[in-house]
């Protein structure tokens, strides 16, 4: 790590730079009131930028950090106040700007305005206002950089963003400029996409010019650090939830491996910096060399939760199955967290709603268990409940209106060509993605019902209903029995097949249903925060889960269940044909960091990842267990029955250890990083 | 038919031999090492164990438990009475075929990684008939390892050795008096079995738990190094003692009372081994 990078990292960690921000916020209602909603946003962007100046910290060659925390105030035509949350969760077409520069883009826009139909004029005007705003700001920053003596930045700004980028450094500055201006335009969860692909030409230019590997690594690190400066003012459910995901590697249509020198430099940079952004995703397949998985496991070892793996063998055919063109499907990236999306072409709303599996089971239990004579009868009622909930979701999503965003639209599909904002479905893909939360809780509940009610007939339906209603108060023995029923994650066909049935009903019904934007619905395995939020709305479940308790996060075993181990987990969670439920949502697994004590542990963990890929898993989030989880386990042991800790030459369930020992393990994590 | 109690089957054990392995812990051990971290693996009898963590003190389990001088002894009924399912029998009884069936569900993944199955304990060699039958059933199916104290008759050791591919062999203390003091048994048969192991030509690794002031002394580690050098063994795994060793004692209703000072950090003294050109792996 160079001195320059160390210095920047110190500035980031000190948080001192936050003192340069202002909290004032302009009210521009009067200025924008005559304009269309899209134009209002562009004017707001322009006005906001007028009050910004080059905010570059000591030694910072990238710049473009926020001064104003808040966006200007005004209301839309529907009377709603503009807030910080504009269109989000997609990967814009960065290459379009990097390879053209705004001068030539502006020319195109002006030509369009001159020749376009009247109703398209507000859109193009909005785009033009935004471009003028960002260019005026860039010019001012250029002079600021000159005055402040930041020579490299000054020189870069003499080319970009007016002209296309030439060098890797210029392209990095341009990238930060784009992200910064999009954020000022209220766009958030703006993901970085396939950085190692669209930046590669600039990188290659530099290599040809004789720029060294170390210099290229340094620039990459400066850019990565720069991405972290404003994350505390970005919109998100929790800090860190800001969508700055980066996807590396992948295979093209001919099966060529696209992982390159830049991909490797990005991973190195992330491992040296150990900061939360960008979040690294790695595209893999059965063909991925084991050495690369071992390299990636070195990253997992750091405990940051990177990389997340996406399996091309499953994702690409899955997306093609949903109607994405093959050349687009192979170019997939992740939107913010893990939803698969086509960069620069799609304005898919990948997280428009969340399907709550256990809620559907709850409905069937309450309304149909008493009248079901066989498990098959009962499952029909579950099926109806799933379809009813899907219909509700479809109706709700299709009634939604979308925000205009001319500047953002500039970077999406053929919006510019067609003169259509993303709000008016100007993108090439306009699909809706629906999460599927709580699959394991739902499958475990059905397995328990099947076992004790229908197979064994050891519990009466009335008794079970009463026990659930009373949240197991006075039904301790029954709860004990339910907890001992088969649980998803133990490679047990009894329950895993039920999970497959549930996913089949959900995905086959929802996939391909038309949405209000000439697109379709797509079903997924993610939960986002719904493993906690949706779970609060569901009472006690027949798997033994108590009222309101969380589900497993995304595609994971229930926190209720005692598990045999990771090999069983990956087999349980790859039984369903995951190509059919491909909105995204990873299997999330924790391994204790002591597994990585020697190189043998790295190799074996990489083999575990390889096994998951070979079995047909779609997405994997492998975590080296960290302090926060342990602390949560300390406070809520009932939610962490699966937490395995490596203790010495042996492993144990964390919650099975006595207090002083648990405390000791937690204390060990204090100085880990 | 031979049967044995298994107190744990651990998937993805990464320190118990080559590749990804599943480790089977057989219940019952003739040794009583002071630092034992698996107290539920000591007795050949099946006891009911209770996870303390998560207990709401509702008292349901105590209604059918027997009160003794050292605490409560839980019954089968206690297991079912707990609303949080915190009690379980420490062991599950298996016949070899049933155990092999259960292991088979992961065997492809184990083999792909160059791994296999490891039998540990307790002391796996104290169930020779069951162990050999199980190992034979796994022959040609996967790599078979044992993790052992080496304490058993030489006949049994030889018979088991014929059916394994890899051995993780413990050397705790070379001085026999010390060995008797801290583990409850003499190491004479262990050293004899070590010789058998070396001569057999099987793949193996020597492991020494580093217990502060007990096994990590310069004297003991020097004696171990000398012993290995005599057999021309050039590698050793050292497993530093960790204070969580006593974590499971309360679950079996016992108290962990080591006579050594467990707060002292264990010393690997790698320089001793380096002198003999013995490679040290600290796990």
- DSSP tag of A61: S
Instruction: Tell me, yes or no, if B15 comes closer than 8 A to chain A by beta carbon.
Output: yes
Instruction: Tell me, yes or no, if B139 comes closer than 8 A to chain A by beta carbon.
Output: no
- Residue A324 domain-assigned (yes or no): no
> Same domain for A610 and A639?
no
Distance from CA of A537 to the nearest CA of B (A): 22
User: Does the domain spanning B4-45+90-282 belong to CATH 3.40.1110.10?
Assistant: no
pLDDT of residue A520: 98
> Same domain for A585 and A637?
no
Measured CA to CA, the distance from residue B276 to residue A326 in angstroms comes to 62
- Residue A344 domain-assigned (yes or no): no
Measured CA to CA, the distance from residue A476 to residue B146 in angstroms comes to 41
Model's pTM, two decimal places? 0.91
> Averaged over A516-531, what is the pLDDT?
92
pLDDT of residue A120: 95
> Same domain for A366 and A493?
yes
Query: Does A65 score more than 80 pLDDT?
Result: yes
A138 has which bridge partners? none
Span B60-115, pLDDT tens digits: 999 988 888 777 888 889 999 999 888 999 999 999 999 999 999 999 999 999 99
Separation of first and last alpha carbons in chain A: 17
Span B225-269, pLDDT tens digits: 999 999 999 999 999 987 767 778 888 878 888 999 988 899 999
Q: Using CB atoms, which residue from B81, B239, B249 is nearest to A649? A: B239
Measured CA to CA, the distance from residue A270 to residue A24 in angstroms comes to 35
Helix H or strand E segment including A437: strand A432-437
pLDDT of residue B71: 76
Q: Which of these three, A233, A253, A284, is where a domain ends?
A: A284
Residues of A (491-520) whose Cβ lies below 8 Å from B: 491
- Residue A293 domain-assigned (yes or no): no
pLDDT of residue A306: 85
A57 neighbors A10 (Cβ within 8 angstroms) = no
A356 has which bridge partners? A437
Find the largest Cα–Cα distance for chain B: 61
> Same domain for A602 and A636?
no
pLDDT band at A651; cut points 50, 70, 90 = very low
Closest by CA position to A434, among listed A405, A488, A395: A395
> Same domain for A455 and A483?
yes
Q: Using an 8 Å CB-CB cutoff, list chain A residues near B58.
A: 476
Closest by CA position to B257, among listed B39, B2, B7: B39
> Same domain for A583 and A470?
yes
Query: Does A672 score more than 50 pLDDT?
Result: no
| Closest residue on chain A to B255 (Cα) | A658
Span A170-221, pLDDT tens digits: 999 999 999 999 999 999 999 999 999 999 999 999 999 999 999 999 999 9
Instruction: Tell me, yes or no, if B265 comes closer than 8 A to chain A by beta carbon.
Output: no
Query: Checking phi first, is residue A472 left (phi over 0); if not, alpha (psi -120 to 50) or beta?
Result: left
Span A363-388, pLDDT tens digits: 999 999 999 999 999 999 999 999 99
> Averaged over A58-80, what is the pLDDT?
93
Complex ipTM: 0.91
Subunit contact B80:A477, Cβ cutoff 8 A: yes
pLDDT band at B56; cut points 50, 70, 90 = confident
- Residue A333 domain-assigned (yes or no): no
- Residue A477 domain-assigned (yes or no): yes
Subunit contact B207:A649, Cβ cutoff 8 A: yes
Which parts of B164-270 are beta strand (E)?
166-170, 203-210, 235-240
Report the sign of the C-alpha dihedral through residues A266, A267, A272, A278, in that order.
Answer: positive
> Same domain for A629 and A614?
no
Q: Using an 8 Å CB-CB cutoff, list chain A residues near B22.
A: 565, 567
Which of B9, B10, B12 to mutate to probe the A interface, most A CBs <10 Å? B12
Span B150-172, pLDDT tens digits: 999 999 999 999 999 999 999 99
Cβ-Cβ contacts under 8 Å for B218 (sequence gap 6 or more): B269, B272
For chain A, what is the domain count?
A: 3
pLDDT band at A665; cut points 50, 70, 90 = low
> Same domain for A634 and A611?
no
- Residue A26 domain-assigned (yes or no): yes
> Same domain for A466 and A605?
yes
Closest by CA position to A206, among listed A195, A217, A197: A217
- Residue A483 domain-assigned (yes or no): yes
Tell how strand B203-210 and strand B4-13 pair up: unpaired
Separation of first and last alpha carbons in chain B: 38
Measured CA to CA, the distance from residue A45 to residue A42 in angstroms comes to 5
Distance from CA of B148 to the nearest CA of A (A): 13
Query: Does A650 score more than 50 pLDDT?
Result: no
Cβ-Cβ contacts under 8 Å for B264 (sequence gap 6 or more): B212, B213
> Averaged over A584-594, what is the pLDDT?
83
- Residue A97 domain-assigned (yes or no): yes
Least confidently predicted of A452-456, A624-628, B21-25, B62-66? A624-628
Span A435-450, pLDDT tens digits: 999 999 999 999 999 9
pLDDT of residue A261: 98
Domain ranges within chain B, ordered by starting residue: 4-45+90-282, 48-89
Q: Using an 8 Å CB-CB cutoff, list chain A residues near B10.
A: 565, 651
Measured CA to CA, the distance from residue B25 to residue A115 in angstroms comes to 79
Token readout for B273 is 């081994």
Tell how strand A279-284 and strand A308-311 pair up: parallel
pLDDT of residue A673: 23
> Same domain for A368 and A228?
no
CB-based burial, A315-338: b 16+ in 10 Å, e otherwise? bbebbbebebeeebbbbbbbbbbb
Residue located via tokens 């001195």: A3
Q: Using an 8 Å CB-CB cutoff, list chain A residues near B38.
A: 650
Q: Using an 8 Å CB-CB cutoff, list chain A residues near B82.
A: 476, 480
> Same domain for A242 and A258?
yes
Span A105-126, pLDDT tens digits: 999 999 999 999 999 999 999 9
Subunit contact A647:B12, Cβ cutoff 8 A: no
Chain centre distance of CA A185: 20
| Closest residue on chain B to A594 (Cα) | B283
Instruction: Tell me, yes or no, if A635 comes closer than 8 A to chain B by beta carbon.
Output: no
pLDDT of residue A56: 87
Structural domain harbouring A80: 3-284
> Averaged over A265-293, what is the pLDDT?
94
Mean pLDDT taken over chain A: 92
Subunit contact B19:A653, Cβ cutoff 8 A: no
Query: Does A490 score more than 50 pLDDT?
Result: yes
> Same domain for A419 and A521?
yes
A216 neighbors A172 (Cβ within 8 angstroms) = no
CB-based burial, A631-640: b 16+ in 10 Å, e otherwise? eebbeebbbb
Token readout for B30 is 């003739």
Measured CA to CA, the distance from residue B282 to residue B235 in angstroms comes to 11
């Amino acid at each position: 790590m160079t001195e320059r990078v160390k210095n920047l990292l110190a500035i980031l960690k000190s948080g001192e730079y936050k003192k340069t921000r202002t909290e004032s916020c302009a009210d521009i209602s009067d200025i924008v009131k005559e304009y269309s909603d899209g134009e209002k946003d562009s004017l707001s962007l322009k006005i906001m930028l007028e009050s910004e100046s080059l905010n570059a910290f000591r030694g910072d060659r990238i710049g473009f950090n926020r001064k104003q925390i808040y966006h200007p105030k005004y209301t839309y035509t529907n009377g709603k106040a503009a807030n910080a949350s504009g269109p989000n969760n997609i990967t814009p077409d960065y290459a379009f700007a990097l390879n053209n520069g705004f001068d030539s883009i502006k020319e195109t826009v002006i030509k369009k305005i001159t020749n376009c139909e009247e109703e398209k004029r507000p859109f193009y005007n909005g785009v033009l206002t935004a471009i003028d705003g960002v260019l005026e700001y860039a010019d001012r920053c250029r002079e600021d950089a000159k005055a402040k003596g930041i020579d490299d930045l000054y020189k870069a700004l003499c080319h970009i963003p007016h002209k296309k980028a030439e060098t890797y450094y210029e392209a990095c500055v341009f990238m930060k400029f784009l992200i910064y201006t999009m954020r000022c335009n209220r766009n958030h969860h703006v993901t970085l996409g396939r950085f190692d692909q669209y930046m590669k030409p600039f990188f290659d230019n530099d290599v040809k010019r004789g720029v060294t590997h170390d210099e290229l690594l340094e620039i990459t690190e400066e850019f990565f650090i720069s991405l972290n400066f404003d994350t505390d003012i970005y919109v998100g459910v929790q800090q860190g939830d800001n969508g700055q995901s980066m996807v590396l590697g992948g295979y093209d249509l001919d099966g060529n491996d696209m992982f390159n020198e830049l991909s490797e430099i990005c991973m190195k940079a992330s491992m040296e910096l150990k900061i939360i952004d960008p979040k690294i995703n790695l595209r893999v397949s059965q063909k991925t060399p084991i050495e690369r998985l071992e390299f990636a496991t070195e990253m997992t070892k750091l405990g940051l939760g990177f990389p997340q793996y996406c399996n091309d063998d499953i994702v690409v055919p899955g997306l093609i199955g949903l109607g994405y063109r093959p050349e687009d499907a192979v170019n997939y990236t992740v939107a913010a967290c893990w939803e698969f999306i086509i960069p620069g072409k799609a304005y898919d709303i990948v997280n428009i709603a969340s399907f709550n599996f256990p809620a559907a089971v709850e409905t069937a239990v309450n309304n149909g268990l008493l009248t079901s004579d066989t498990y098959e009868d009962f499952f029909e009622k579950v099926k109806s409940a799933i379809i009813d909930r899907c219909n509700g979701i479809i109706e709700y999503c299709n009634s939604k209106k979308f925000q205009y965003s001319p500047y953002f639209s500039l970077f999406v599909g053929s919006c510019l060509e067609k003169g259509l904002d993303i709000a008016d479905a100007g993108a090439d893909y306009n699909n809706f993605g629906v999460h599927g939360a709580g699959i394991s809780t739902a499958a475990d509940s059905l397995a328990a019902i099947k076992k004790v009610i229908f197979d064994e007939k050891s519990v009466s339906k009335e008794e079970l209903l009463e026990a659930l209603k009373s949240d197991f108060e006075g039904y301790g023995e029954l709860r004990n029995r339910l907890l001992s029923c088969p649980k998803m994650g133990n490679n047990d066909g009894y329950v895993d097949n039920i999970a497959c049935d549930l996913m089949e009903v959900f995905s086959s019904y929802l996939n391909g249903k038309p949405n209000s934007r000439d697109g379709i619905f797509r079903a997924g395995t993610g939960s986002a925060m719904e493993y906690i939020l949706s779970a609060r709305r569901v009472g006690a479940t027949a798997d033994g889960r108590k009222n309101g308790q969380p589900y497993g996060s995304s595609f994971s075993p229930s926190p209720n269940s005692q598990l045999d181990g990771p090999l069983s987990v990956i087999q349980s969670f790859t039984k369903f044909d995951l190509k059919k439920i491909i909105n995204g949502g990873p299997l999330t697994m924790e391994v204790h960091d002591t597994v990585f004590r020697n190189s043998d542990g790295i190799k074996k963990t990489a083999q575990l990842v390889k096994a998951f890929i070979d079995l047909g898993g779609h997405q994997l989030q492998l975590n080296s267990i960290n302090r926060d989880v342990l602390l949560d386990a300390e406070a809520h042991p009932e939610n962490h029955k699966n937490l395995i800790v490596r203790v010495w030459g042996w492993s144990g369930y964390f919650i099975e250890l006595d207090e002083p020992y648990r405390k000791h393990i937690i204390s060990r994590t204090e100085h880990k990083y | 038919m031979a049967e044995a109690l298994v107190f744990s089957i651990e998937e993805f054990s990464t320190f118990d031999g080559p590749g990804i392995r599943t480790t089977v812990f057989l219940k019952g051990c003739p040794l009583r090492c002071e630092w034992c971290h698996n107290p539920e693996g000591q007795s050949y009898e099946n006891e009911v164990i209770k996870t303390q963590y998560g207990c709401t003190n509702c008292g349901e389990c105590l209604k059918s438990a027997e009160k003794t001088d050292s605490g409560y002894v839980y019954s089968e009924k206690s297991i079912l009475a707990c609303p949080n399912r915190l009690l379980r029998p420490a062991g599950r009884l298996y016949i070899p075929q049933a155990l092999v069936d259960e292991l088979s569900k992961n065997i492809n993944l184990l083999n792909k990684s160059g791994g296999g199955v490891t039998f540990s304990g307790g002391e796996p060699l104290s169930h020779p008939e069951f162990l050999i039958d199980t190992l034979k059933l796994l022959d040609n199916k996967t790599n078979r390892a044992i993790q052992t104290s080496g304490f058993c008759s030489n006949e049994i050791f030889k018979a088991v050795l014929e059916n394994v591919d890899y051995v993780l062999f413990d050397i705790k203390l070379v001085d026999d008096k010390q060995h008797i003091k801290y583990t409850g048994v003499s190491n004479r048969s262990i050293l004899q079995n070590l010789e058998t192991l070396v001569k057999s030509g099987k793949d193996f690794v020597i492991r020494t738990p580093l217990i502060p002031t007990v096994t990590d002394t310069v004297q003991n580690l020097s004696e171990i190094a000398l012993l290995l050098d005599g057999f021309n063994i050039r590698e050793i795994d050292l497993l530093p003692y960790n204070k969580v060793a006593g974590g499971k004692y309360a679950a079996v209703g016992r108290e962990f009372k080591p006579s050594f000072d467990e707060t002292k950090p264990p010393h690997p003294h790698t320089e001793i081994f380096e002198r003999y050109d013995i490679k040290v792996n600290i796990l």
